[in-house]
Amino acid sequence: MLSISASCLASAAVCRIKFGKLEMEVILNATLAGGVSVGSASDLVVTAGVAMAIGTLAGIVSSLGFIYLGKWLSKKINLQDTCGVHNLHGMPGVLGGCIGAFSAGFADLAFENDNSALLATFKALKDGRTVQEQGWFQLAALGVTLAISIGSGALCGWIASHVGKSGDGDFNLFTDDGHWVVHDGDKIGDIDYNLGETVEHVELPAIENKVVDEPEEKKEEKSES
């Protein structure tokens, strides 16, 4: 709770510094980064100050990701992160993994007076592993996780970009005509589904301001009052 609260304050502060006001995408997402980063070390962080420091750092990293990094990756490698997963779960998750490894390496300080709790948290210590070795093992596990996630994500992205195009040759992925039988009554009509193009100017119909006369009964009630 303290870590999430700190990430809320940090993300709001970044928005105020950058825009002078709050930015909706950052506030809706980066405020949760503290909970993502503190998870791995939640049973080792024993002070409120450390938890809030982790949340503050996670909130700043995630906010900067939404403001700068997401747009840069989209421009450079055409990364389509429509839900901001990389900025909310990716970078704060890696940060949390590093913090968890660091916390594990110094876990004997957190459990200085309770060796049984330390052994219950890291069962490999019973076999002779030290807390420093445990920290390196957790850092290695983070590397393995990144390798699996990046490799599988790249594979799934390649498959999605090369398989599943509309069966009739139309590259419009926003309609079902290529794969489903669409009856005449269900067709929407000629609609431009090219959502990637920016609409620069929209002509709005002029709205006339008309004054509607009040009913005579309400006028009489007002005059009597």
Other C-beta atoms lying within 10 Å of the C-beta of residue 210: 5
Angstrom CA distances, 205 to 4, 201, 202, 220, stand at 46, 13, 10, 37
Angstrom CA distances, 99 to 50, 114, 146, stand at 11, 22, 16
132-143-8 Cα angle (round to 5): 85
Architecture of the CATH domain 2-162: Orthogonal Bundle (1.10)
The sign of the torsion formed by the CA atoms of 155, 156, 157, 158 equals positive
pLDDT of the residue at 152: 93
Provide the 8-state DSSP code for 67: I
pLDDT under 70: residue ranges of the chain: 45-46, 110-111, 113-114, 164-179, 182-225
Where are the alpha helices (H) located in 122-215, listed in sequence order? 131-162
pLDDT of the residue at 151: 93
> Among 59, 76, 49, which residue's Cα sits nearest to residue 17?
59
Token pair, residue 11, equals 């993300």
Token pair, residue 107, equals 């876990």
pLDDT of the residue at 147: 94
pLDDT of the residue at 174: 58
Q: Which amino acid is at 78?
A: N
